Amino acid sequence: MGVRAVRKNGNSGNGKNKKNGKNKKNSLPQISPQQIAVIVGLLTNALEVESVLIDRDQRIQILLEGSIRKKTKADKMAEELDDISVSDLIEAYILR
């Protein structure tokens, strides 16, 4: 029969807490499907942060905006023409 040493905290040193028999390892926090969707949306640039608000009670609100619709060629063209004025567009169309 072997003798096993027990520390003052009740832990025998084998990684298990003697009181409840569970590992002392911290478990990962549970992530909801909604949280996963937000993380994926941010990582794929489908969502962008519009604003971050912090009130007096230090509560935080983050407004996200985005779309899961794929951009068409027209969408990409419209983004490129975003800095051009309407008059410049009309003039370019007439000269064409």
Distance, CA of 37 to CA of 43 (rounded, Å): 10
Distance, CA of 41 to CA of 75 (rounded, Å): 19
pLDDT tens per residue across span 2-36: 445 555 555 555 555 555 555 556 788 899 999 99
Query: For the chain, what's the residue count?
Result: 96
pLDDT tens per residue across span 40-73: 999 988 899 999 999 999 999 999 999 877 878 8
What is the identity of the amino acid at 30? Q
